Amino acid sequence: MKLPEKILYAHEHTTIDLSGPKKNIDCRLDDFDATAAEYRRLAEHGVVGIIDQTNRGMGRNVAYVQKMAAQAGVEITHATGYYKEPFLPPECYTLTEQQLCDIMVKELTEGIEGTGVRATVIGEIGTSKDITETEAKVFRAASRAHAETGAPICTHTTLGTRGLEQLEIFKSFGVDLSRVVLSHIDLSADLDYMKRLLDQGVNIAFDTIGKCNYQPDVSRADWLSRLCAEGYDTQIVMSMDITRRSNFADRGGVGYSYLLDTFAPLASEAGVPDRAWENLLYRNALRIYKGQK
Ligand SMILES: [Zn+2]
């Protein structure tokens, strides 16, 4: 097995704070030096970029992230949008669909909170197990913002569910599904469902690697190899989606480089062909998130 020379992590949170609603301080990532050490290790493995999916209401902090990018020597891009209930800020309830769209468009075209740094993705916009009214409103606003700007969209699915319903909303607005990623689909544990999504032209993410309390990695490796064998490797992106301090290597967690130094060999063993890694770890994310072939 040989991993690509350049790698993009498709779904991370350089700093995030979900500790309020989750009532757990572990869900706040704000240890700058610890993250810098993890990201530097990624850079040594060939990671050139990280698609940061932290948005409004998740504790997004552009200055912090850009300082991190400089220190770690990786490019980090930003997201606009809103996560899911109960993490939606008050504006999601008080503003109209069009006003929420306008906020996203402004962050994509002018910059985030006066920094002049633009968001490059609408993400991660999420649904609960049952899609709530306000979550659906965010999805419609995001679809409008995509129509106006052409920006890619990344969604959060709760344990992989409601992907088909998410696509229905996007299709009703004519969203280009080749620029959409549905996250956490590896948690669905349902290969037929994964293929039903992929057959519509959307991309899916295997981005909960190492979270074996949800699904064992041997299963992830098996699904991935079956999907690659059927030619779906051009529609899958990968990441760790680390949101807890306890997942860091220095706290006894798997650490960010686990995807590359532990999972990739396991998946290779399970049958993911050598030719697929360039797509899975670099090309697909480059095409979707940076509009490059
Ligand atoms: Zn995430």
Longest dimension (CA), the chain: 52
Distance from residue 229's CA to the centre of ligand 1 (Å): 27
Distance from residue 27's CA to the centre of ligand 1 (Å): 12
pLDDT class for 80, splitting at 50, 70, 90? very high
Distance from residue 266's CA to the centre of ligand 1 (Å): 23
The per-residue DSSP string of 153-184 comes to: EEEE-GGGTTHHHHHHHHHHTT--GGGEEETT
The pLDDT assigned to 74 comes to 98
| Closest-CA residue to 3 (of 51, 44, 55) | 44
CA angle 293/260/220 to nearest 5° reads 90
Distance from residue 55's CA to the centre of ligand 1 (Å): 10
Distance from residue 125's CA to the centre of ligand 1 (Å): 9
Collect residues with CB below 5 Å from ion ligand 1.
53, 124, 241
Distance from residue 203's CA to the centre of ligand 1 (Å): 16
| Predicted confidence (pLDDT) at residue 293 exceeds the cutoff of 90 | no
End-to-end Cα, the chain, rounded Å: 24
Distance from residue 272's CA to the centre of ligand 1 (Å): 25
Give me 293's structure tokens.
């072939």
The pLDDT assigned to 12 comes to 98
The pLDDT assigned to 292 comes to 83
User: 7-290 is classed in which CATH architecture?
Assistant: Alpha-Beta Barrel (3.20)
pLDDT of 109-133, one tens digit each?
A: 999 999 999 999 999 999 999 999 9
